[in-house]
Amino acid sequence: MTLTTDATTTDTAAPSGPVRLPAGGTLARPVDPSAPASAAAKIFNHPRNAWYVAAWDHEVTGKSPLARTIAGTPIALWRNSEGRPVALADTCWHRLAPLSQGKILGDEIQCPYHGLRYNATGRCSGMPAQETINPSAMVPSFPVVERYRYVWVWVGDPDLADPDTVPDMHQMDSPEWAGDGETIHADCNYQLILDNLMDLTHEEFVHSSSIGQEELSESEFEVTHDDTRVTVSRWMHNIDAPPFWLKNMRDKFPGFEGKVDRWQIIHFEAPGTICIDVGVAKAGTGAPEGDRSQGVNGFVMNTITPETDRTSHYFWAFMRNYCLDSQTITTQLRNGVHGVFGEDEDMLRAQQRAIDANPGHEFYSLNIDAGGMWVRKILDRMLQAEGRPSSAAPAGQGA
């Protein structure tokens, strides 16, 4: 797209007039609402026909319902008497009161307002002050799968909800891995988090005190993809371990000194799961060729669930395959990653604010964005299949 002041092109500041350039605006690309949906949409839409993590397994109980908005849909999450998780639309059929503020009564949930009851399929099973139940009374019930310590829900067409398509996060409950994580409520569009995780060059600048080092932006990376997955691999040979990794090496190899080979292999699986195979091994001991025995290996497990167009639930965990029975290390790693991700959280919030404050500007891409751009392309195709645009904002609102 070329910079133009043609009167047929509009931006938000002047919906029917010529483009108004921001100060020094020769660098700004005007937004053309008639242009085809672009993979560089700033407020990215989310597919609905997909599994999203709604909660950690322990958050969903048979005691009281959990309210959470998943992909724009308010949901009441609870467990029935068999312990199976249930996801119902969080609004009563009758007068739309939130069911999540109601009570769980065995296999039913009761609306807090007039006491209507619903079973796990969303069918009304009790109405006040009448001898029959209105056959139309029901709330949407969403397919649910409990897997990898998470409760996943599907808010799209239930006929397409195939449990076999839950993204692979097997390290979360494998006996060969140990670790723990947290949830970040991120004040940004989910795609900004995916962009962040698909390009770890930012570590050098955002996380300079822990995992950042200048070799990150100096080393080459390789991108591969298929219809639902993207992989970005990067190896740094014979370097000094940054503080975070030096500590981990010393947990496994007490007193370790010397150079390491470091790897970051980012595995994306649509729509929002990114598992990053990370680690370092003593330099020249064969890690790039597959022998990681002289190193430490972690998996940063990330799965991002859009909440609204501008907020996200970011579930993460750090899993490791050494010193499995040490709670001290589990806690230290969780706290360490918590600190690192706090830096990302601040940056993402600031980025979202700047995006919203500059509706006339578009995204440009760098070579380092290749991984993120493949993610956007895959998501764009999923959205196209649902007949929805890739941009969540209506034209003229900073699409």
Partner 1 sequence: MAALTQTRWQRGRVAEVEEVAEGVRRIVLEPEHPVPAAPGTHVDVDLGTEHRTRTRSYSVVRSEDGGARLTLSVQLARQSRGGSRHMHTLRAGDEIAMTEPVQSFPLSVGASRYVLVAGGIGVTALVAMASALRRRGADYQVVLVGRSRRVMAYAEDLVAEHGDRVRLHVDDEGTPLDVAALVAEVAEHAGARHTELYMCGPIGLMDAIRGAWTGHLLPEPNLRFETFGSSGTFAAEEFVVRIPQFGREIAVGPETTMLDALEDAGLDVMSDCRKGECGLCLVKVLDVDGQVDHRDVFLSRDQKERSAHLCLCVSRAVAGADANAKARTRSNGNAPAAVTVLLP
Distance separating alpha carbons of residues 262 and 211, to the nearest angstrom:
11
Q: How far is the CB of 269 from partner 1 (least distance, A)?
A: 23
Closer CB to partner 1, 156 or 360, in the complex: 156
In this complex, which beta carbon is closest to partner 1, that of residue 113 or of residue 363?
A: 113
Which alpha helices (H) appear in the chain, and where do they start and end? 190-198, 203-206, 215-218, 243-252, 327-357, 370-385
Give me the least distance between CB of 223 and partner 1, in Å please. Answer: 34
Q: How near is the Cβ of 343 to partner 1 at its closest, in Å? A: 41
Considering only residues 158 through 187, tell me which ones interact with partner 1, judged by CB under 8 A: 158-159, 161
Structure tokens given for 262:
């470091």
Range 53-92, binding partner 1 (CB under 8 A): 89
- Contact set for partner 1, span 86-145 (CB under 8 A): 89, 93, 119, 121-125, 130-136, 138-143
- Which residues have CB under 8 Å from 243's CB, separation 6+? 209, 210, 211
Residue 171: how many CB atoms within 10 A of its CB?
A: 21
Cα–Cα distance, 91 to 67 (Å, whole number) = 10
Q: In the bound complex, what is the minimum distance in angstroms from residue 89's beta carbon to partner 1?
A: 8
Q: Which residues fall within 8 angstroms of residue 157, CB to CB, at 6 or more apart?
A: 48, 49
State the nearest-atom distance from the C-beta of 392 to partner 1, in Å.
19
What's the N-to-C CA distance of the chain in angstroms?
A: 15
Kindly report the three-state secondary structure assignment for every residue of 252-321.
HCCCCCCEEEEEEEEEEECCCEEEEEEEEEECCCCCCCCCCCCEEEEEEEEEEEEEECCEEEEEEEEEEC
- Alpha-carbon distances, residue 284 vs 26, 227, 290 (angstroms): 49, 35, 12
Q: Quick one: 81 or 208, whose CB is closer to partner 1?
A: 81
Whichever of 98 and 243 has its CB closer to partner 1, that residue is: 98
Q: Give the nearer residue to partner 1 in terms of CB position, either 95 or 185.
A: 95
Angle, vertex CA 191, rays to CA 60 and CA 144, nearest 5: 25
Question: Smaller CB distance to partner 1: residue 164 or 226?
Answer: 164
In the complex, minimum distance from the CB of residue 39 to partner 1, in angstroms, rounded to a whole number: 24
Window 377-396: residues binding partner 1 (CB under 8 A): 387
How many residues interact with partner 1 (rule CB under 8 A)?
Answer: 26
Residue among 122 and 167 whose Cβ is closer to partner 1: 122
Question: Minimal distance in Å, beta carbon 157 to partner 1?
Answer: 8
Binding site for partner 1 (CB under 8 A): 89, 93, 119, 121-125, 130-136, 138-143, 157-159, 161, 387
